[in-house]
């Protein structure tokens, strides 16, 4: 069983995003940099991660190129979002429509908003 800890915070507390990254591709994929990609937008408090589907290698396609282009396009789409109202779904849809590389990827985009909401602790039981 996993437990997620939380603390109650006053609503006026300002949230901030501290993040970093490190790539450790499989040794067989080091030459291409692996099949993963990400971006971190410190100013907008947004993180995106894409995991290219390795099965494309059987067709001679580098899925890492797709994942990298998808994340570049996501970062560009964030710049088009109204200030303070970034919609991760809309960003990913725009990025997908702009990505021309062959391949596919799982992807996740998250954003931190300047608000703290109290949660029922039972919601965090896994």
* pLDDT tens per residue, range 44-94: 889 999 999 988 888 999 889 999 999 999 999 999 888 778 999 999 999
What are the extents of the domains in the chain? Answer: 33-113
36-45, 60-69, 112-121: range with lowest mean pLDDT: 112-121
In this predicted structure, what is the pLDDT of residue 1?
41
Cβ burial of 9 (10 Å; 0-12, 13-18, 19+) is exposed
pLDDT class for 115, splitting at 50, 70, 90? low
Higher pLDDT, 32 or 97: 97
CA–CA distance, 62 with 3 (Å, rounded to integer): 38
Count of other CB atoms within 10 angstroms of residue 107: 20
């Amino acid at each position: 069983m996993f437990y997620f800890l939380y603390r109650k915070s006053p609503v006026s507390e300002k949230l901030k995003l501290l993040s970093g990254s490190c790539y450790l591709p499989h040794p067989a994929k080091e030459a291409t940099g692996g099949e993963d990609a990400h971006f971190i937008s410190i100013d907008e408090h947004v993180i995106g991660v894409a995991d290219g589907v390795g099965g494309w290698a059987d067709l001679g396609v580098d899925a890492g190129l797709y994942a990298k282009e998808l994340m570049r396009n996501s970062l560009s789409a964030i710049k088009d979002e109204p200030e303070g109202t970034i919609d991760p779904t809309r960003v990913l849809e725009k990025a997908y429509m702009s990505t021309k590389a062959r391949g596919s990827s799982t992807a996740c985009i998250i954003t931190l908003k300047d608000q703290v909401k109290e949660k029922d602790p039972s919601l965090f039981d896994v």
